[in-house]
Amino acid sequence: MNYCLIGKDKFRIRERVKAIVGELTAEFANLQQVHISSVVGLTELAEHLDTQSLWSEQKLVVIEELLSSKDKAVVAFIQTWLKQTDFPTNLILIEENDPPKKIFQNLLETPTIKIERYPMLTTVESHQWLQQKLRAEGMDLDVSASGWLLANFENDLWRLSNELTKLKWLFADKTTSLAMVKEVVSPILGDNVFATIDALARRNLVLANRLINTQLMVGVSELELVTLIAYQFRNVALIKILSAQKLSSSEIAQRATIHPYVVKKSIKFARDFSWPQLHRIVRLIQKIDQASKRGQTPPKIGLDILMAQIVKS
């Protein structure tokens, strides 16, 4: 069977390729694997697909972004080649986007190739993926620890997978708490947090609440959300100071030791909020954070107050 794997989720595509390789290797111990550049010419492509090693009974050829090639001869050759049956070469085409309409329709009508899609996961799907990964790895993370990882890395499965590997190695056979995760995992701000701050800057409380509720659905606690919002507003205040010194974004990132991506996102917010607004917001966040941790204000009410007050600031 041949495959066309389409999507922007490179992690899941890589995992799928590994699974296909595993299936073929289990059947053909001497499987020959070949990875070809997307700029391959017709002659070289034909040689890879139509010749067989003397030492292996089966071959797997993997090519990325071939169907988007401007070389019509190459694309036509692939379409013709796929109509063969019982040939000892398996082909995996990897495409970030759907190929042109006619080519895609031709693939749909070709029984020797299976088309699979791998879009970036939604927040809920990322939560499901994380739970499946934890079960597969035999790991036990408490709800707040899982929520914190998702709030920071969302659908960045590369980072989530790497962090889980590290946590498993460090805390084998232990229930991993949020405190343990924070000891060894460096946080980043996910796009949902940036989107929430942007909604607050535009005084769109309805959208901000919708984004917050999405995070709560996947197990992120109210206190964690307050912490993430506080962290971002501190970044905004610091970046506003450094921007006033006419520093470039790269210089701000180096001076403030903030990730360049966070700086890029935060520069806009620094323009959206005035100094008096930022001062009031930071003080409000401190009060709500302390009141929630002391049990004086329920976390959900504290978060609702914070959102409403930022919009009014």
Indicate the helix (H) or strand (E) that contains 28.
none
Cα–Cα distance, 82 to 74 (Å, whole number): 12
260-295 burial: b if 16+ Cβ within 10 Å, else e: eebbebbbebbebbeeeebebbeebbebbbebbeee
Token pair belonging to 183: 């000891």
Question: By the 8 A CB rule, do 147 and 218 touch?
Answer: yes
**pLDDT tens per residue across span 11-50:** 999 999 999 999 988 888 888 888 887 677 888 878 878 7
Q: With H, G, I as helix, E, B as strand and everything else as coil, classify residue 295.
A: coil
Assign 293 a pLDDT band (cuts: 50, 70, 90). confident
- Both tokens of 34, joined, read 């070949």
What average pLDDT is seen over the chain? 83
Confidence of residue 297 (pLDDT cuts 50, 70, 90): confident
Q: Is the pLDDT reported for residue 53 higher than 60?
A: no
Residue 48 main-chain phi, psi, to 5 deg: -65, -40
pLDDT surpasses 90 at 132: yes
- Residue 130 above 90 pLDDT? yes
On the question of pLDDT at 218 being above 70, the answer is no
User: Domains in the chain and their CATH numbers?
Assistant: 2-117 (3.40.50.300), 123-184 (1.10.8.60), 191-312 (1.20.272.10)
Question: What does 155-216 look like in DSSP terms, one character per residue?
Answer: T-HHHHHHHHHHHHHHSTTSEEPHHHHHHH------HHHHHHHHHHHTT-HHHHHHHHHHHH
The SS3 call for residue 136 is helix
| pTM metric for this prediction | 0.60
